[in-house]
Amino acid sequence: METALVKKIFDVDQVRKDFPILSREVNGKPLVYFDNAATSQKPLSVINALDNYYKTCNSNIHRGVYLISAEASEAYDKAKDKVKEFIGAKDSSEIIFTRGTTEAINLAAYSYGRQSVTEGDEVIISTMEHHSNIVPWQVLCDEKKAKLKIIPITDSGEIIMDEYKKMLNEKVKLVSICHISNSIGTINPVKEIIKLAHEKNIPILVDGAQAVHHTKVDVQSLDADFYAFSAHKMYGPMGIGVLYGKAELLEQMPPYQTGGDMISSVSFEKTDYNEIPMKFEAGTPNVEGAIGLTEAIDYINSIGRDQIHEHEKEILEYATEEIEQIESVKIIGTARNKTGSLSFIVEGLSALDIGIMLDTFGVAVRTGHHCTEPLMRRFKIPGTVRASFAMYNTKEEIDVFTSALRKSINILK
């Protein structure tokens, strides 16, 4: 648990020691890992927890009558309690484990969406959504002959709230919006966005893939109806994520997939479904993932989300100031409230060439559309170079990056 009263001291050098990969070299240079929005690196505690699970209690969970199955089941169930505390849910039955954010949103679109959306209805998303928060709604709307409505954004990459307000009407059955943009780092005013939707009795899903590890999230205080995120972006393992849903909504929703574990009894005539959240978890779950996620949450809590947020803010500000001084660089996404990602283009050069060149200096960035093609189209560009930061990044790494960027531009021009 994070203690609000004790101000923790953030020591980035100490934090870096917990991440073994950060001490490796690439292309003869120390690795500067700036692709954290794609996936974060893992601390030793997470790596050891996975190792320990397979060494000590690997077994299938629930219904095992022997000790190691009981241990694995307990670890899996405790992971739900851990997530519940981490995001401020009311009950751990509101925590569904999925493969990640993508599957979480698909679950909501498939189960809640297909039940609630009919011909002529509307679903609202924004211009800055990840493809994972576009395509499931597009497919749903196509199938139901409903309309997908898109909230426009400003040139700086902020939601135009007046336009959003105008879009809310009785035909809208759901709003689905990212908390923080993976491409341009905008922190959306989700509390206000949710409040406005609720004034019209419209439920809302928040895609928190880029948020839970950068800032404190409390789903009850936000009053989010659904909240989705992935463990691998928050220092945990790949292959596990979360869909939080308010119990009263989950209770009403049909299963997403069917098979073992999501049932309470089966006959050839009829199947009764399990209680929430098991109703939505068909088949053998990702037990190692749940254990790794528990450890990742413990790790984040041991550092403190406020401390992480402050440190990352400093890193983003410093990186912004430094690259603004490089002629021909244009930052894409200049929202007032930002974190995590810094996207830019260099006049006359392709993002891909810059990314490849930066790699020769040991700097790992991502280039392209970042799974937000409509957002790139909004800015009339094919893609950007994106440097995205985590708690272990330093100002010294920003210096390496900006120096490598200058050299890359000189070589390529």
List the structure tokens of 116.
């609630």
Region binding ligand PLP by CB under 6 A among candidate stretches 163-171, 205-213, 257-265, 350-358: 205-213
Region binding ligand PLP by CB under 6 A among candidate stretches 77-85, 119-127, 154-162, 202-210: 202-210
- From 57, 141, 178, 371, the catalytic residue: 371
List the structure tokens of 120.
């002529």
Segment 259 to 288, residues that bind ligand PLP, using CB under 6 A: none
Residue that has been written with the tokens 């409230």 in this structure: 337
Segment 112 to 131, residues that bind ligand PLP, using CB under 6 A: 130
The reply on whether position 102 binds ligand PLP by CB under 6 A is: yes
Active-site residue flag, 141: no
What dihedral do alpha carbons 254, 258, 264, 270 form, nearest 10°?
80
The least CB distance from residue 98 to ligand PLP, in Å, is 8
Size of the site for ligand PLP (CB under 6 A): 13
The least CB distance from residue 100 to ligand PLP, in Å, is 3
For residue 190, give the nearest of 164, 152, 172 by alpha carbon.
164
The reply on whether position 133 binds ligand PLP by CB under 6 A is: yes
Report the residue number, 157 or 362, with the smaller CB distance to ligand PLP: 157
Report the residue number, 372 or 393, with the smaller CB distance to ligand PLP: 372
Segment 208 to 247, residues that bind ligand PLP, using CB under 6 A: 209-210, 230
> What is the end-to-end Cα distance of the chain in Å, rounded?
51
Report the residue number, 102 or 384, with the smaller CB distance to ligand PLP: 102
DSSP string, 377-402: HHTT-S-EEEEE--TT--HHHHHHHH
List the structure tokens of 150.
């898109």
How deeply is 336 buried, as exposed, middle or buried, from its count of CB atoms within 10 A (0-12, 13-18, 19+)? exposed
The least CB distance from residue 37 to ligand PLP, in Å, is 6
The least CB distance from residue 182 to ligand PLP, in Å, is 3
Using a CB cutoff of 8 Å and minimum separation of 24, what contacts does 2-8 make?
2/301, 2/304, 2/305, 2/306, 8/303, 8/304, 8/307
What DSSP character marks residue 257? S
Segment 9 to 48, residues that bind ligand PLP, using CB under 6 A: 37
Whether 325 and 357 have beta carbons less than 8 Å apart is answered as no
The reply on whether position 178 binds ligand PLP by CB under 6 A is: yes
List the structure tokens of 232.
């691998």
The reply on whether position 182 binds ligand PLP by CB under 6 A is: yes
Spatial separation of the C-alpha atoms in residues 180 and 308, rounded to whole Å: 16
Report the residue number, 87 or 346, with the smaller CB distance to ligand PLP: 87
Residues that bind ligand PLP (CB under 6 A): 37, 100-102, 130, 132-133, 178, 182, 207, 209-210, 230
The residues annotated with a catalytic role in the active site are: 371
